[in-house]
Amino acid sequence: MSDMELWHNPRCSKSRAAKAALDEAGVEYTERRYLDEPPTADELDAVLTRIGAEPWDVARLNEPVAKELGLKDLERDRARWIEIMVANPVLLQRPIVLTGEAAVVARDDESVRKALDSQ
């Protein structure tokens, strides 16, 4: 088992690019298709802490479900947002790369490099 994990959505171009960069770098990692295997509230809370972000910082607010739930106007209560994101994992920005004690939302080459450098 690797110390690196990729929370991945293969239908997302940013996620596919991050996966390709990890493959090209030759690193071992565990791929987690988080839409099929959503994080628990505790897992998401821990990952957010590792990223140094709040749930609203990594929420996809343009998703239809975000609009249905009125997330843009929802009170910023960390536990409530985590609960919503666990129930609707499509709301998570992707991909997320976890390495050791760090984690990054790896939506660009610089973020992927940061993840690789922190392993």
- H/E run at residue 46: helix 41-51
Separation CA 39–CA 86 (nearest Å):
6
Query: Considering 2, 3, 8, 12, which one is annotated as catalytic?
Result: 12
Of the candidates 109, 103, 81, the one whose C-alpha atom is nearest the C-alpha of residue 29 is: 103
Residues 6 or more apart from 52 whose CB is under 8 A from it? none
| 74 catalytically annotated | no
Catalytic residues: 12
